[in-house]
Every structure is written in C-alpha cells, then in structure tokens.
C-alpha cells in the first residue's frame, strides 16, 4: 500500500541519524517505524534482537510491509545485530530515548536540542544514532549506558508512554525541521485572482436588491446597519473573482428558481460556423 502524498518521481532525501530499534516486539511497529523514517528522509534502520527475528517470513511479514506503506525499501535493507554493542560500534554519538529518569548523570535533552546537537556533530563528519527500546518496557539501564545523552519527549507526565513509531516520527521531524525549516512543502495556488471592488459592489447591489424585494431589511431604521453588516461579512472572506461569480450564480438561482429547458438551450449557442460546440 502506498499512501497519498507519495511521489516516486521526486528525489528522496537520505541521511540523518541511524534509528536503532532494540528488542522490538511487534513486526507491525517495525514497519510503522520505517514509514516514519521515510517521511523525514532517514534511511539507516538497525534492529537489535527483534523478539521474533528478522526478516520475517510468516504472515507477520505482510503486516510489517503493509504498515511501511511504501517504505518497504527500508525494511529490505535494515541491518540486524545480535547485540547493541555491535549495532552502535561505528557511531560516534548515541542518543537514548526514554521517559524515565535513570540516574546515570547523562545530559537530558528535548528532541529539538538533541537533533540540533546531532546536526552540528554530523557537519563535522560524526555518525549519529538514536536508540529506541521495546514497546512494553523501553530501554533498560545497561542499554542506556551505551548512550552519550538521553532524549526525553515533552509529553503529558501522566501518560508519557509513546508508541514506538510515534517516537521515531518525532525524532525524524525535528531532524528534518532543523535542516529544512518550517516551510511547508506545498504552497497555496490561487487559480482565481482577488475580486476587484467593482465586481464585489455589483454583487452587493444584486443581493441587497433581491433582499429588499423580500422585505429583509426590516425595520427600516435598522436597514443601514443591516446592509453594512452584510457587506462586512463578505469583505472578511477576501473573495476571489470565482468566489463572487459562484455566489452570484447561486443567488440568481435562489431568486429566479431552476432553469427551464428552454433557458438552458439558449445558454448553449452553436458557433457561427454552424458546428456543434465541443
């Protein structure tokens, strides 16, 4: 399954810290972590003693690949290690994610600060990794002893347990945000220009005239205020030309009723050449 927003014609981002999943329990979560990594251009997935082995060959494999939603390439090239020591051996800096105070005297950083430090170190050629523990218990103290620093997420203290893929997603987001900024990847495209004041005022005249015929502006003493309120309501909408055309057409139909078949035929006139319109 490939999700909306996936476009393989565009160049994929790569790099970033290695994501080290320690003793992962569920194949579906490994797949979801791969998806989160792909969202933010991370491409180094390392698995340490996944509970039921990897790569999976049973029916859980299909579950994992479906959860990856187009990021199966990360599952295919994931590296599996028998020990955490082997998994982090080539890394210069390792962050351990946890929601619990461990008493190890390590710096405790928010994700934004951890990834800022990671970017600065990576710029000098250092290799970075972020460790995530198993779903039920998280990393144990011995595993955290491998880390340079701890990353703790600012969450509800009464419910601090994050889904594994959610934690990976937050790290990936902060990594990419620091590299690319907060600018959204898409921008608004206006297919219709802003409506000129003349067009809007003409719409007001038609609308107010139709309302006047139906005794909307009552009592008469409040009519000026009612007109101003009506106009100000539309002015706040920052109308485009298409907005005004659509609203005026809707108002015309409300006033005049449904078009008859004759009226519809009159609106579709053949060109002078006598050919039927396309």
Structure tokens at 71: 């990021």
- Residue 276: pLDDT band (50, 70, 90) is very low
pTM over 0.75: no
Query: Residue 187 is encoded by which pair of tokens?
Result: 């921008």
Q: Which pair of tokens denotes residue 42?
A: 């991370």
Beta bridge partners of residue 46, listed in sequence order: 20, 79
Give per-residue pLDDT as tens, 141-165: 999 999 999 999 988 888 878 889 9
Q: Residues with Cβ < 8 Å from 30, sequence gap 6 or more?
A: 21, 24, 47, 50, 54, 64, 67, 75, 78
Cα–Cα dist 8/35, whole Å: 14
Distance CA 196, CA 201 (A): 9
Are 243 and 192 spatial neighbours (Cβ–Cβ below 8 Å)? Answer: yes
59-80 pLDDT, tens digit per residue, is 678 888 888 888 889 999 999 9
Cis peptide before 34 (omega within 30 of 0): no
- pLDDT of 15 > 90? The answer is no
CA distance linking residue 191 with residue 205, whole number of Å: 26
Supply the pLDDT for residue 263.
60
Residue ranges covered by each domain of the chain: 18-180, 197-267
1 Cβ neighbours under 8 A, 6+ residues apart? 66, 69, 70
Backbone angles phi, psi at 98, to 5 degrees: -160, 155
Beta bridge partners of 151: 97, 109
DSSP state of 217: S
Question: Is-contact 99 153, C-beta < 8 A?
Answer: yes
Q: What is the CA radius of gyration of the chain?
A: 30
Beta bridge partners of 95: 130, 149
CB atoms closer than 10 angstroms to residue 91: 21
Tell me the per-residue pLDDT of 175-207, one tens digit each, with 9 for 90 and over: 999 877 666 655 666 678 889 999 999 999 999
| Strand bridging mode 18-22 / 93-97 | unpaired
- pLDDT, tens digit (0-9, with 9 covering 90-100), for 205-219: 999 999 999 999 999
Reported as a pLDDT band with limits 50, 70 and 90, residue 262 is: low
18-180 is a CATH 3.40.1280.10 domain: yes
């Amino acid at each position: 399954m490939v999700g909306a927003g996936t476009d393989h014609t565009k160049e994929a981002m790569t790099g970033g810290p290695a994501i080290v999943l320690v003793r992962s329990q569920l194949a579906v979560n490994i797949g979801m972590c791969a998806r989160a990594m792909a969202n933010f251009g991370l491409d180094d997935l390392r698995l340490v003693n996944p509970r039921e082995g990897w790569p999976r060959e049973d029916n859980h494999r299909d579950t994992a690949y479906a959860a990856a939603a187009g990021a199966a390439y990360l599952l295919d090239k994931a590296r599996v290690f028998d020990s955490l020591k082997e998994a982090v051996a080539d890394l210069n800096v390792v962050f351990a994610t946890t929601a619990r105070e461990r008493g190890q005297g390590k710096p405790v950083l928010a994700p934004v600060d951890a990834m800022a430090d990671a970017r600065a170190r990576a710029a000098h050629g250092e290799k970075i990794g972020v460790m995530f523990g198993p779903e039920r218990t998280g990393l144990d103290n011995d595993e955290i002893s491998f880390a340079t620093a701890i990353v703790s997420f600012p969450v509800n203290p009464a419910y601090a347990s994050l889904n594994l893929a959610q934690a990976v997603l937050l790290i990936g987001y902060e990594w990419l945000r620091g590299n690319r900024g907060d600018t959204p990847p898409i921008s608004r495209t206006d297919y219709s220009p802003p409506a000129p004041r003349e067009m809007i005022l003409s719409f007001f005249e038609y609308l107010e005239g139709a309302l006047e015929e139906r005794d909307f502006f009552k009592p008469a003493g409040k009519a000026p205020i009612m007109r101003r309120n009506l106009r100000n309501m539309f002015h706040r909408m920052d109308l485009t030309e298409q907005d005004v055309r659509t609203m005026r057409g809707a108002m015309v139909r409300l006033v005049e009723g449904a078009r008859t078949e004759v009226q519809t035929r009159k609106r579709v006139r053949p060109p002078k050449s006598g050919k039927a319109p396309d």
